[in-house]
Structure 1
Amino acid sequence: MARSAATTATKEATPPANSSPAPQQDSNDFLWTYTEEPHRTRRLAIIKAHPEVLKLCGPEPMTKYVVAGVVGLQVVLAYLLQSTPFWSLKFWAIAYVFGATANQNLFLAIHEISHNLAFKSPLANRLIAIVANLPIGIPYSASFRPYHLTHHKSLGVDGLDTDLPTALEAFVLNSILGKAFFCTFQIFFYAIRPMTVYRVDLTKIHALNILVQAAFDVVLVRFTSYNALLYLLLSSFLAGSLHPLAGHFIAEHYVYETITPTQRNPDNKVPLPETFSYYGPLNILAYNVGYHNEHHDFPAIPWTRLHSLYEIAKEFYEPLPHHQSWSYAIWRFIWDENVGMSCRVKRKEGGRLVGGGAKWKQSEVEA
């Protein structure tokens, strides 16, 4: 069985995570901290020790070709399934194995592109994100960017970081059934939650995203059938449900490690672990999003160069706790009573809002 383990510089002496205690905390509260988020501090330390890492920054030309290939694959599969009954095993099996994998890949392509890592031109990045959005069925690429960039700039900040569960979610879903419900329908939580926290300004790119997606959906149904569109929508749902690749949503920032009483002291200044990487083979299908500490440290480094960052700055990353399996991360999240919705690090202030009326230069966003 794949296991999620905390690794340190002396790996041999570290017990696997499934045999070590999980975070000890009040189940009705989050892990509150008064320290600065760790990524800026580590980024500066890495740059000081290895200034050559800055050469890794910049767009990755391969991204647009991967996007085109996956979009094409999904359109072909939708066409081939136009006459296959929605309730058939074949329809669901293809949607789960191929469709969900492809659409999760496109979710993460949009994530990558939100950092302007497909083209040098910001407009070109906005447009390729709209193309990547097509097989997802629902327009969201334009809205995702400001929320995601705020997640980077305001990691863990209550009221700004929409990746954080709300207090209501943590209270209602604090059970095995509740966590299983969240994992099954988490795509809807990530779609609806941002709008309940704060709303970003609508722009021409939002309008274009909606118009292009609506036109694509209408043309798809007109020349195939409603089943083709249902295939794409089902693929998107399964991609954010109980699917191995969907494990990254939970594995990235939910705290599985032991949090000592000293660390939980509100006056304590020792940073809590709050971002966790995964270095396994599923990264091949997921734009290396498993290199999540690396991504938060250097959001301007594209997916193809995150491994190089890890190798260059190995002394910084190797001691950090990380997951061995996204599937096991989901399993343990559901069944371990000590791991749940409130196992997230929160801070009451700090950070910056990107969007929602705030105007930031691109250099500030990517810093």
Structure 2
Amino acid sequence: MSAAPAKQIDYSLFGGAESFDRAPRRTVVTAPTSKDDGVSYPGPPLNPNEFLWLMTEEPHRSRRTAIMKAHPEVTKLMGHEPLTKYVVLFVVSLQIATAISLRHTSPLSPLFIFCAYAIGGTANHNLFLSIHEITHNLAFRSIWANKCLAVFANLPIGIPYSAAFKGYHMEHHRYLGEDGVDTDLPTRLELLCLNNVLGKVFFATFQILFYALRPGFVRSQKLTMWHLYNVVAQLVFDYILVSVFGIRPLIYLIASSFFAGSLHPCAGHFIAEHYLWDGLEQETFSYYGPLNLLAYNVGYHNEHHDFPSIPWTRLPALKALAPEFYDTIPSHPSWSMVIINFIRDKEVGIFARAKRLSKKSCKCFSSTCTSR
């Protein structure tokens, strides 16, 4: 009597890995074309000793123009989202309440660490992304009101950063991939020091520090009164919290921020968004999985870069409106597997980022430009 055939396992449910014995296909497409069948690798490995330098303009402006021409009704999706302020209020309240409830718990106890990772890491990651959403002025019509809400959302993070983030993030959109301007890009020092398995483990563990400290080393920012408001509000909040409830609630909040940008499932989006995969010269990747529910739909990242004026609640509607533009773009099936593949796969690493010269130093963006 012959044995029953083994059940075929759909490894895509676990993040797209067909096998743990070889490098998996890491990106998927909804509607494969003749150039990409959704299984094979479409390009050769990248040079692990250098970033990928492109002389073409970033892709989002041209796709935005094409979508607006094909679907002029897309403008109806633009505008602020009133729901955002209520989500921010809930998460801020949750974090403060959790921090206070742990005031008698040792920071080294399993309960404290579990809460800081599972509850605090998820909540503070949500607040990081609420500030991202507010930075685009999508919570209120008033710019002043958006800035105030960003300062408020910053409170459970423990360290003031919302005002500084706004300037750097706007440059990230406006000058995507431009060396010395887009501070989302790794530096050459990072490439030299972290281009190995241990280096990638270190980078993935301390992502939050790289994103917090790198901008100051790459490009200084002009300080404004909002930077001062952000710092003062945070210091006053931290002082009151420690004075009334002791140091442990503040330790919880800062630990939550660390976990939010470390080896946490939600933190996979930091790597997933703009690292290059599968030999593709694709600078932005989306993710359409369930973690978007906790992350202001930041996984819809191609959609967000194409239309930064569309709030998080309407990004799925944008994808549904223009499937001919989005369904053929490779996307990530799992943020968790992005972190795992980033660390273990030698074909992906710090080098897997597209860079272009700053427009100030090179005005040519044609495909035939050879200036470097």
1:102-251 equivalence runs, <5 A: 102-251=123-272
After the TM superposition, which residues 21-100 of structure 1 pair with which residues of structure 2 at under 5 Å, given as runs?
Answer: 24-100=45-121
Q: Distance in 2 between matches of 1:194 and 1:159?
A: 10
Normalization by structure 2: what TM-score?
Answer: 0.88
- The code of the aligned residue for 1:7 comes to V
Are the aligned partners of 1:253 and 1:274 in contact in 2 as well (CA < 8 Å)? yes
**Aligned AA for 2:143?**
P
In 2, are the aligned partners of 1:23 and 1:343 still within 8 Å (CA)?
no
The question of whether the paired residues in 1 share the 8 Å contact of 2:27 and 2:277 is answered with: no
The CA distance in 1 between the partners of 2:42 and 2:321, in whole Å, is: 32
Taking the aligned partners of 2:78 and 2:360, their CA distance within structure 1 comes to: 23
The change in CA–CA distance for 1:185 and 1:22 in structure 2 (over 3 A counts) is farther
Counterpart code for 1:193: R
Tell me the alpha carbon deviations over residues 306-349 of structure 1, each in whole angstroms, 9 at most, x when there is no partner.
00000001110000010000000000000001100010010012
After superposing the two structures, state which structure 1 stretch, 21-30 or 327-336, moved more. 21-30
Query: 2:15 matched to 1:2?
Result: yes
Once residues 100 and 256 of structure 2 are traced to their aligned partners in structure 1, the CA distance between those partners, rounded to angstroms, is 14
Question: Could you say which residue in structure 2 is the equivalent of 1:289?
Answer: 298
Tell me how far 1:171 sits from its aligned partner.
1.3
Counterpart of 2:333?
A: 324
Unmatched tracts of structure 2, length 5 or more: 1-13, 17-25, 362-372
Write the deviation string for residues 234-289 of structure 1: whole angstroms up to 9, x where unpaired.
00000000000000000000011224xxxxxxxxxxxx310000000000000000
**TM-score, normalised to structure 1's length?**
0.90
Residue in structure 2 matching 1:256, options 260, 277, 281: 277
- Helix, strand or coil at the partner of 1:37: coil
The whole-number CA distance in structure 1 between the counterparts of 2:38 and 2:182 is 32
Which whole-Å CA distance do the structure 1 matches of 2:198 and 2:320 have between them? 40
How many residues are paired up?
A: 338
* Aligned mates of 1:228, 1:256 — CA distance in 2: 40
Give the Å deviation of 1:350.
Answer: 2.6
**2:285 aligned to which of 276, 282, 291:** 276
**Contact 1:154–1:351 (8 Å) recurs in 2:** no
Give, in angstroms, the shift of residue 6 of structure 1: 2.8
User: Does structure 1 conserve the Cα–Cα contact (< 8 Å) formed by 2:116 and 2:252?
Assistant: yes
Q: Distance in 1 between matches of 2:243 and 2:43?
A: 52
- Once the two structures are superposed, residues 143-201 of structure 1 have per-residue CA deviations (whole angstroms, 9 ceiling, x without a partner) of 00010000000000000000000011011100000000000001000011000111111
1:358 equivalent in structure 2: none
Does the CA-based 8 Å contact 1:22-1:256 persist in structure 2? no
The 1-side partners of 2:344 and 2:33 are apart by 26
Moved over 2 A (4+): 8-16, 19-23, 349-352
Kept after mapping to 1: 8 A contact 2:45/2:278: no
- The letter of the residue matching 1:239 is A
Deviation of the 1:214 alpha carbon: 0.2
Percent of residue pairs bearing the same amino acid type: 57
Distance across 2 between alignment mates of 1:51 and 1:239 = 38
Mapped to 2, the partners of 1:2 and 1:276 lie a distance apart of 15
Using a 3 Å threshold, how does the CA distance of structure 1 residues 294 and 160 change in structure 2: closer, same or farther?
Answer: same
Q: Distance in 1 between matches of 2:230 and 2:158?
A: 11
CA–CA separation in structure 1 for the residues paired with 2:182 and 2:44: 22
Q: 1:28 Cα deviation (Å)?
A: 1.1
Indicate whether 1:14 and 2:37 are aligned.
yes
Answer whether contact 2:131 2:150 (CA < 8 A) is retained. yes
Contact (CA 8 Å) 2:96, 2:156: kept in 1 or not?
Answer: yes
SS at 1:278 equivalent: coil
For the pair 1:304 / 2:322, whether they are aligned, the reply is no
Cα 1:314–1:351, aligned 2, differ >3 Å: closer, same or farther? farther
Q: What amino acid is aligned across from residue 297 of structure 2 in structure 1?
A: N
Separation in 1, partners of 2:209, 2:139: 27
Q: 1:351 to 1:138 in 2, by over 3 A?
A: farther
RMSD: 1.6
Give 1:133 shift.
0.1
Structure 2 letter corresponding to 1:10? P
The one-letter code matched in structure 2 to 1:2 is G
What is the CA-CA distance between 1:23 and the residue it aligns to? 5.4
Query: Partners in 2 of 1:6 and 1:31 — Cα distance?
Result: 22
